[in-house]
Every structure is written in C-alpha cells, then in structure tokens.
Amino acid sequence: MSLSESMDSLVFFGMSWVGILASVVGLLIIYGVTLKFSTERERHRIDRIGATLKLYTSAESALISALEQNNLTREDRQILFDRMLACRSAPYITTDLLMQISACAEEPDPARLPLLLKTLQRECERLCTERDKLLHRSESPGWGYALWKTIRPAVPFVFAIVILVLLRRLFFLIYALSVSSSIGLLELINPWSQFGSALFSLLLLYPAVMGGNRQNVGSVMLRLWSVLIAALYLLNLLGGSFAPYILVLQLLLFLAGFRLTGSKPRKSRPFAGHYQKDSKELRSPAIEESDAPNTSYSSDSNND
C-alpha cells in the first residue's frame, strides 16, 4: 500500500469517527432536551389540573353550604358569588360549566344551584381521574408505556436524520434544474411532487407520533387521521408518476380533517333550568342587594 493510499485511509477513518461522534452527541442533546420538555409539560399539566380542582372544590363547598341553609347572610352570599366567579378563571373550565356560572350570577335562581353543584362534582371527578392517570403514567408506568417513554425522546433525532436526507434530495433537485437545458413537464412535476409529499408527511407524522396535547374525544381520531395521510406517501413506491396525485390526495384529506376539529353548535337550551331572559349586567349581591330577587340564598330585609 502506497503512502498516499495510507493517508487517504487514515483521513477516511478519522472522518468516519468524527461523523459517528457528532451523531452520538447530537442524539444525546436532542434526547435530553426532548425528555426535559416532556417531563415539564406533564408537570405543568398536573399543576393546571390542581389549580382547576382548587377553584372547583372551593365553589363546591360554598354551594353545599348554600343548599343546606335556608337563608344566607350577606357575607355568605358574597363568598358564594366570589367563588363561583373565580371558577371562570380555571384553566380547564368547560363551556357548559362557564355558561351555568354566568347564568347563576346574572339571574340568581335557587333552582340552578343543585344542577351547578352536580356539574362541579362531575368535573371534579373527571379531572381527578385525568390527574391520577397522568401521575400513574409518570411515576409507575406500565411495561409498554415505560418502553415508549424510553424511545420517545429519540424520535426527534430520527426525524432530523430524515429531514437531512430530504434536504440532500432538494439540493439534487435544484442542481438538476440548473444544469438541464431542456426538461419535460412531467420530469419537473414528479420529483418535486414526491419531495413535497415527503415533507408534508413528516409535518403531519411528527405531532401525531410525539403527541403532547391534552387528550379529548377527537384527539385520537386526529392523530390517526394524520398517520393515514402520512402513510399515503408509501404509494410513491408504485412509481414516480403517481406523486402528483398522491400529493393532491394528501392535501384533500388534510382539508377534510378540519371537519373533525369543528365544534358542534350548542342547543338553545344548553342545560336544564336555563331559559333565555332579558340580559342583565353582572353585579355583586353585596353592591346591589336591594335589587336582588327573593331567593333561598338571599337574606330577609330585616336581617340587613
């Protein structure tokens, strides 16, 4: 072996080790950052659930006291009013509960209080179940989820490698355009459509695989829909001539996904006991006590 061949072998060997070392360092950095963000996101979600439960339980205790007493003092009514309105700032308050609180505050009616109490108790049970699930997944996960928690922080590194491959593909596409004097329309559309389909699939597949959003009724459907659209890229294995049609199909399915996220219109009576009356300005019973109707949680004029 000549001296020049030996030097070339040493340079190639050194560059290979540098590439491997850089890949390992990049993997460790991405793994650590992703793991940190995932842990913080779960902790913040548990904190938001705890803050919501604190407001709900405070209002629930005031409602129970109001239902057990025939007449409330001015101070008790003010506490009930403040705690109900404080629930409106809860991070995870639902639309149904928000409308019930607004209706009770605008039009004090003792018939609304039992329903409001049941709604608060139902929301507390749902949030407690969600919090217990998060704590169980965080502190004592099952066998499958524990394995996924170990692999999941490395997923962004895999996507980064795929993006580098796509950038390399983009460089060759641009280079082919610059050196080709004459190129057909199909030869121009097909590779660019395939590149766009691959990039679009990655943009949909990454959030579907990583998750992170709060689970609800439609979240699982949206993730499966994203995986389905991304999986259509595999049809490019049938041939490059199908790339434009595959990209158009992916875009159409993506637009159809907006129907899965649309909120359903509420009925004219969103909950029992709610009737459309003349709107009134939201006001505290301690400020305008004389205008408050004679309800079960209002004190008599002699007590004032």
273: left (phi over 0), alpha (psi -120 to 50) or beta: left
Half-sphere exposure of 187 (CA within 13 A, CB side): 8
Q: How far is CA 58 from the centre of its chain?
A: 27
Q: For residue range 247-273, what is the model confidence (pLDDT) as tens digits? A: 999 999 999 888 876 555 444 344 444
What is the model's pLDDT at position 10? 60
Hey, what amino acid is at 61? Answer: S
Alpha-carbon gap, residue 270 to 100, rounded angstroms: 9
Does the pLDDT at position 12 exceed 70? Answer: no
52 contacts 90 by C-beta, under 8 angstroms: yes
Q: Give CA–CA dist 210/152, Å, rounded.
A: 7
pTM equals: 0.72
What pLDDT digit, counting tens, does each position of 27-42 carry?
889 899 998 998 898 8
pLDDT of residue 216: 67
The predicted structure's pLDDT at residue 296: 42
% of residues, the chain, pLDDT over 70: 77
Q: What is the sign, positive or negative, of the torsion defined by CA atoms of 21, 24, 26, 32?
A: negative
* pLDDT higher than 80, residue 45: yes
- Please enumerate in sequence order all residues whose Cβ is within 8 A of that of 235, keeping only pairs 6 or more positions apart, or say none: 242, 246
Give the whole-angstrom CA distance, residue 94 versus residue 260: 19
